[in-house]
C-alpha cells in the first residue's frame, strides 16, 4: 500500500508540473519541462516500486497504448493547494487518469520516455524584450546610487536640484525614487513656473522643499489665492517662494495665524505686514513661541519700548529670528561696553544682526587707535554701519586709517 501511494503521488506531481510546462509562455519553459520529467525519473530511480512489486502496483501501471495523444486538460490549474491535497491523500481518491490529454507526451510509470526536443518544438514561441531586465538595486543611504536607474532623478539633477539637500528632508528620498517625471513632477514644475520661478530657481526650490511634490495641486492653488486675497503682489509671492520655499507647504490656516500674530503684537497695518513678510519671508517659518520669548527679552530685559520694537521689525525683520541668548549678548556689548544708546540701535538695528566677533574686533582696534567715536555730534564720527560693513581692508583704509597689516598684528594680541 505504501508503494502504491508513493506511485500515485509521484504521478500527480509529475502531471502537475508538465501541465505548467504546456500552459507556460515564459522563457523558462524548457527548464520547467526538465524539472517535471526529472521528477518522475528520480521517483522511479528511488525505488518507489522496490518494496512490493505486486499486483497492487501493476494495477496502477497503465500500458503505453492507454495514453491518448490529445492535449492535456486545462481545467486543473497548477497551484500549491491542489498539490498539497493530493500529496496528503493516502487512499485511492479521484486521481487524474493517464488517459487524459497529454499533448503527445509518452509517460510510463516504470520508465519515463519523453522526447524533450519534440516537446519544446511544439511549445509556443515568444520573443521577449530583455532590455528592461536589470538586477534589483541594493539598499543605499544616498540618492546618488539611483540616478543612473531613475529618469526622474536624472531630470531633476539637470534642473539643478541638489539631491544631497533633498536627502536631509525626512521621507524625501523615498518619494523622489518612486516618482515618474512625466506623470508626477511636470505639473508641479508648471505650477512653480506660473508663480514666476525660472528653471534654476525651480531646482533650488525643490532642493529645499522636495515634499512639495506630494502636495495636492488644489491646495497649493488655494494658498496662492490666499496671498492674492491679502493683496500680495505677484513679485512678492515670487520672492516668498524663492526665499522660503517651505511656506507653500504650510496650510492656509497656519499662514493666516502667523500673519495675524505679527500684525496684532507689533500693531502693524496691512501694508506694514506685507512689507515685513516680503523683506523676510522666513519669518513665517519661525516658531511663534520663539518670537514671543524674544519680544519679552527685548522689552523687559533690554528696555526697548513697543514703538521701538515695531520700528526695528520694519527696518530689519531678521532680528526677530535671532536666538534669545544671542540677542542679549549682542545688546549687552553694544549698549554697556560700547555705549550705544537705544535710539541709535533703533536707527540702524542691522548691527544687532551682525556677527559678534566682527563688532568686537573692530571696536577694540578703534579703541587702541583712539578712534572709537560713535557720537555723530563729535569729530571722527564712526557710524554703526561703517563699523561692520565691508572687508577688513576697506575698514582699515576708510575708518581706521591704517594698513591691513597693522590690523592683523593687533588681532594676534587678542
Residues 6 or more apart in contact with residue 234 via CB below 8 angstroms: 196
Cell (9 digits) for 306: 513697543
Q: Computed from CA positions of residues 259, 265, 269, 272, in that sequence, does the dihedral angle turn out positive or negative?
A: negative
- At residue 147, the pLDDT reads 85
DSSP assignment letter at 64: G
CA 71 – CA 260 distance, rounded (Å): 79
100-128 pLDDT per residue, tens: 444 444 444 445 555 666 666 666 666 66
DSSP assignment letter at 371: -
CA 393 to chain centre: 45
Which residues of the chain carry a pLDDT beneath 50?
Answer: 1-3, 5, 21-22, 24-30, 32-33, 35, 37, 40, 44, 46-110
Cell (9 digits) for 4: 502504491
- At residue 305, the pLDDT reads 95
CA 189 – CA 187 distance, rounded (Å): 5
Write down the residue that cell numbers 513661541 correspond to: 289
DSSP assignment letter at 141: S
Cell (9 digits) for 142: 544616498
Cell (9 digits) for 359: 563688532
- At residue 99, the pLDDT reads 43
Q: For 211, what's the count of Cα atoms within 13 Å in the CB-facing half-sphere?
A: 11
Residue 72 and residue 36 in contact, taking contact as beta carbons nearer than 8 Å? no
SS3 of residue 406 by DSSP: helix
Residues 6 or more apart in contact with residue 85 via CB below 8 angstroms: none
Angle, helix 270-279 to helix 234-243, in steps of 10 degrees: 40
Using the CB atoms, write b or e for 92-101: b if 16+ within 10 Å.
eeeebebeee
Residue 64 and residue 106 in contact, taking contact as beta carbons nearer than 8 Å? yes
Nearest Cα neighbor of 49 from 95, 116, 4 is 4
CA 298 to chain centre: 40
**Rg of the chain's alpha carbons, rounded to an integer?**
41
Residue 327 and residue 352 in contact, taking contact as beta carbons nearer than 8 Å? yes
Amino acid at each position: 500500500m505504501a508503494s502504491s501511494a508513493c506511485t500515485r503521488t509521484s504521478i500527480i506531481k509529475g502531471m502537475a508540473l508538465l501541465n505548467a510546462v504546456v500552459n507556460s509562455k515564459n522563457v523558462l519553459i524548457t527548464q520547467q519541462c526538465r524539472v517535471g520529467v526529472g521528477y518522475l525519473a528520480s521517483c522511479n530511480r528511488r525505488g518507489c516500486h522496490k518494496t512490493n512489486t505486486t499486483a497492487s502496483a501493476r494495477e496502477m501501471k497503465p500500458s503505453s497504448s492507454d495514453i491518448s495523444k490529445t492535449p492535456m486538460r486545462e481545467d486543473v490549474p497548477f497551484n500549491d493547494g491542489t498539490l498539497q491535497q493530493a500529496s496528503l491523500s493516502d487512499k485511492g481518491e479521484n486521481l487524474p487518469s493517464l488517459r487524459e490529454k497529454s499533448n503527445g507526451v509518452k509517460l510510463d510509470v516504470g520508465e519515463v520516455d519523453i522526447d524533450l526536443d519534440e516537446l519544446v518544438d511544439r511549445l509556443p514561441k515568444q520573443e521577449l524584450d530583455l532590455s528592461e531586465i536589470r538586477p534589483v538595486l541594493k539598499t543605499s543611504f544616498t540618492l546618488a546610487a539611483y540616478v543612473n536607474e531613475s529618469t526622474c532623478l536624472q531630470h531633476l539633477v539637470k534642473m539643478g536640484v541638489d539631491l544631497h539637500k533633498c536627502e536631509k528632508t525626512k521621507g524625501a528620498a523615498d518619494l523622489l525614487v518612486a516618482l515618474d517625471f512625466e506623470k508626477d513632477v511636470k505639473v508641479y514644475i508648471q505650477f512653480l513656473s506660473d508663480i514666476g520661478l525660472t528653471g534654476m530657481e525651480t531646482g533650488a526650490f525643490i532642493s529645499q522643499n522636495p515634499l512639495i511634490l506630494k502636495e495636492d495641486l488644489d491646495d497649493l492653488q488655494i494658498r496662492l489665492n490666499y496671498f492674492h486675497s491679502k493683496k500680495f503682489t505677484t513679485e512678492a509671492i515670487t520672492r516668498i517662494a524663492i526665499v522660503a520655499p517651505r511656506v507653500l507647504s504650510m496650510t492656509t490656516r497656519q499662514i493666516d495665524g502667523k500673519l495675524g500674530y505679527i500684525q496684532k503684537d507689533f500693531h502693524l497695518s496691512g501694508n506694514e505686514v506685507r512689507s515685513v513678510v516680503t523683506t523676510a519671508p522666513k519669518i513665517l517659518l519661525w516658531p511663534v513661541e520663539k518670537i514671543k520669548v524674544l519680544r519679552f527679552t527685548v522689552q523687559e530685559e533690554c528696555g526697548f519700548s513697543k514703538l521701538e520694537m515695531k520700528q526695528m521689525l520694519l527696518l530689519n525683520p531678521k532680528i526677530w529670528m535671532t536666538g534669545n541668548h544671542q540677542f542679549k549678548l549682542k545688546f549687552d556689548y553694544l549698549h554697556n561696553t560700547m555705549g550705544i544708546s537705544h535710539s541709535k540701535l533703533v536707527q540702524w538695528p542691522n548691527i544687532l544682526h551682525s556677527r559678534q566677533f566682527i563688532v568686537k574686533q573692530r571696536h577694540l582696534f578703534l579703541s587702541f587707535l583712539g578712534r572709537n567715536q560713535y557720537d555723530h555730534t563729535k569729530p571722527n564720527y564712526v557710524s554703526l554701519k561703517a563699523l561692520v560693513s565691508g572687508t577688513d581692508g576697506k575698514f582699515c583704509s576708510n575708518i581706521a586709517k591704517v594698513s591691513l597689516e597693522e590690523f592683523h598684528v593687533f588681532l594676534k594680541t587678542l
